[in-house]
Amino acid sequence: MANKKEINRRRTFAIISHPDAGKTTLTEKLLLFGGAIQVAGAVKSNKIKKTATSDWMEIERQRGISVATSVMGFDYGDHKINILDTPGHQDFAEDTFRTLTAVDSVIVVIDVAKGVEPQTEKLVEVCRMRKTPIMVFINKLDRPGKEAFDLLDEIEEKLNITVTPLSWPIGMGNSFKGVYNIYSKNLHLFKPSRQVVEEGIQFDDLSSPELEKLVDKGAATLRNDLELVDGVYPDFEKETYLKGDLSPVFFGSALNNFGVKELLDVFVEIAPSPIGRESDIRYVRPEEEAFTGFVFKIHANMDPNHRDRIAFVRIVSGTFKRNTAYQHVRLNRQLKFASPTAFMAQKKSIVDEAFPGDIVGLHDTGNFKIGDTVTEGEILNFKGIPSFSPTLFRYVVNADPMRAKQLAKGIDQLMDEGVAQLFTGKYSGRKIIGTVGTLQFEVIQYRLEHEYTAKCRYESITLYKTAWFVSKNKAQLEDFRARKGSQIAIDKEGREVFMADSQFSLQMAREKYPDIKFYFTSEFEPE
């Protein structure tokens, strides 16, 4: 059996939210408590030199947003915490969707003033589909916002989840006095502090006059609110939470480091330890002796000085050991890794072994693709890590003929990261980049110039959707290829893709060629 003690002490989770809800700031504070960093960074202002640990790419520092998932690991008490800080911006949702396949639970951050925003709805929907346990952190209580009960109603209605508060705010904005921790019966008084927090005051008897001395006029409101909470919301049950059917809610202010420790302490106590994953042949359990894992992210140039390329692998079962030969299932090859790494954002340290729930980085010379499975020899593939059909398209044109080689290499590596998809016209040979958001085009252009010294420009193209297509009917396939040749492209894996210029065009193709199957995610079995 794999090391049960190591499995049980691990917590691997993602932090998700709409942009500007405070997700990256919360990540910083969690790292602060783990002793992983000494000073929390400022995410908002590019004038401040101390930028957020998780926003390490140059473009992230300039824009003040996350555009790539960051992986950070640290110890907190007896637990090993693996945080995946995801991009909040909708243009990078695909990176977040893939990241959610590598975690065992999530923390959703919600701005107290803005409430539930569209991107949060989409991401939580993915979590619900996967039955991923969800915790909610309502942030920025030191600013005016929506009433707590109204906000909880909105969360339940818009996110379609059942909530139960495990902490409760006393006031808000200028009148914010603190938070009562329902779970551990602690009272935490608000004192803005960006680095150090004080322990809460044990407070079991809320009827005590001592409460008035501590929170003044907020005492009566707190008592009334907690009475309502007790009557309206279900009692917290750990099993119900682990099944994804109940979401605990915490309140605080990440910027002021308030309510974060309470969240973290309860999280490590109740959140799931690493769980298994479904493969194409069986369910793989973390306790199994043999190592298995899958690649959910690839990142080029984490260290621009070395032009390195890292494949992020989530360990599903067994123990991963350095300098051991493992099976790359898709290539049917044995590979050995001399310097597997653990992460603190872009800072890396070599690890000799890693356990289920851990994320290890493997130096890659082009062997890996997103979704690849690595095992100790068993031939299986983990499921549920698709690429999605893009919705926006541009022709990509070399803007500096002297740097054609660098441009080709840059595009090749960036596409492997999954930030966008590359299609080559079957007859025209023209390169088309497809994305799910406009900001991705800007990021690609920026990274090509600053990481590969190559320049590109874009030209517009009218496309509705791309669809991978397969069929056992060879006659229909040949006729389709002959008639639609100018609308067929080849993806990076050499598969044919129909580039439909309108919804009508796609509909007509489906009607005329009933034996051809069209797919809008790349995860399909060839006929």
CA distance linking residue 487 with residue 294, whole number of Å: 34
Task: In whole angstroms, give the CA distance from residue 41 to residue 50.
Answer: 5
Return the number of other C-beta atoms located less than 10 Å from residue 509's C-beta.
19
Are 434 and 466 contacting, i.e. CB atoms less than 8 angstroms apart?
yes
Q: How many CB atoms are located within 10 Å of the residue 480 CB?
A: 22
Q: What is the pLDDT of residues 59-116, one digit of tens each?
A: 444 444 333 456 788 888 899 999 887 654 454 456 677 788 899 999 999 999 999 9
Q: How many CB atoms lie within 10 A of CB 204?
A: 7
Q: Could you tell me which residues are beta bridge partners of residue 326?
A: 335
Give the C-alpha separation, 73 to 358, whole Å: 8
Reduced to 3 states (helix: H, G, I; strand: E, B; else coil), residue 156 is helix
* Domain 15-67+104-270 homologous superfamily, CATH: P-loop containing nucleotide triphosphate hydrolases (3.40.50.300)
- For residue 71, the model assigns a pLDDT of 78
Per-residue CA distances from 460 to 441, 445, 448, 503, 505 (Å): 12, 15, 19, 18, 19
Kindly give, in sequence order, each residue whose CB lies less than 8 Å from that of residue 238, ignoring residues fewer than 6 positions away.
270
Superfamily of domain 392-519: Peptide chain release factor 3, domain III (3.30.70.3280)
Residue ranges, the chain, pLDDT below 70? 1-2, 35-70, 86-95, 192-200, 202-205, 300-308, 343-348, 385-389, 522-527
DSSP code for 260: H
Contact between 382 and 112 under an 8 Å Cβ cutoff? The reply is no
**pLDDT for residue 327:** 96
Q: Which CATH number fits domain 277-375: 2.60.34.10, 3.40.718.10, 3.40.50.300, 3.40.50.720?
A: 3.40.50.300
Q: And the tokens for 35? A: 């002793």
Please tell me what DSSP assigns to residue 388: B
Give the per-residue pLDDT at 130.
83
| Residue 57: per-residue pLDDT | 47
What residue ranges of the chain are covered by domains with CATH 3.40.50.300? 15-67+104-270, 277-375
**So what's the pLDDT on residue 517?**
93
Measuring CA to CA, how many Å separate 463 from each of 375, 410, 418?
A: 40, 24, 20
Q: Is 50 in contact with 122 (CB distance < 8 Å)?
A: no
Q: Taking the CB of residue 330, how many other CB atoms lie within 10 A of it? A: 15
Point out which residues pair with 498 in neighbouring strands.
Answer: 467, 488
How many CA atoms does the CB half-sphere of 222 hold within 13 Å? 29
Instruction: Please answer whether residues 390 and 466 qualify as being in contact, where contact means their C-beta atoms are separated by less than 8 angstroms.
Output: yes
Q: Comparing C-alpha atoms, which of 249, 238, 347, 264 is closest to residue 79?
A: 264
Domain with CATH 3.30.70.3280 in the chain: 392-519
Residues 456, 76: Cα–Cα separation, whole Å: 45
Q: How far apart are CA 82 and CA 27, in angstroms?
A: 11
- The crossing angle, in degrees rounded to 10, of helices 118-130 and 148-159 is 60
Q: Determine the pLDDT at residue 345.
A: 43
Please give the single-letter amino acid code of residue 95. Answer: D
Residues whose CB is less than 8 angstroms from the CB of residue 436 and which lie 6 or more positions away in sequence, other chains included = 90, 91, 93, 94, 388, 390, 391, 392
Secondary structure of residue 152 in the 3-state scheme: helix
Contact 134, 106 (CB under 8 A): yes
